[in-house]
Amino acid sequence: LPHHIAGKEVAAAPTATRLAKIYPATGEQLCTVPVAGKHEIEMAVAAAEEAFGHWAQLTGTQRSLVLSRAATVLREAQPEMARLEVLDTGKPLSEAEADTSAPDAFHWFGSLAASACVQGRHVPLGAAGVGLTRREPLGVCAGIAAWNYPVQGAAWKIAPALACGNAFILKPSPLSPLTSNRL
């Protein structure tokens, strides 16, 4: 599997340590997964910092539209994601189909991106005036996907960070990298 940095596949260094991805239901090796080294991590951080500069400037409504589109794409890919989750975790297909709620996360947090919850609000202070809260993006966020709910857990980390205007770096679980890699 390649790394994904700035929307592009990045091949692992030839000397990268590789971990075997084992299908838990049968013990069969499906592929090998490269471990990111210092160079790949620095590339990911630099790309996320650059993306943050652009993403944070979008309005909440603009971010909402992007996240809504992501939800649509993920919903269309749900059968594929469920099959990958079966290979990742060894779950029965019916359970994997129920577990892949990534589209819901992107839709839900996307719907909040333009709301006072994310943007801030005006608070009446009576005769004293009006208070204003303004919420601003923090920067680059990072998260680690869990092995047992890899796509669901990743989506519930990525979507709120993006909705709030942050950039995001995901470190997939080495035990279940297939769905995180596809996400």
pLDDT tens digit sequence for 70-89: 999 999 999 999 999 999 99
CA dist 20 and 45 (Å) reads 26
pLDDT tens digit sequence for 169-183: 999 998 999 998 888
CA dist 36 and 14 (Å) reads 11
Give the pLDDT of residue 100: 67
The residue written with tokens 């005769």 in the block is 127
Task: Extract the residue ranges of the chain whose pLDDT is less than 70.
Answer: 100, 116-117
Give the pLDDT of residue 123: 81
Give the pLDDT of residue 116: 66
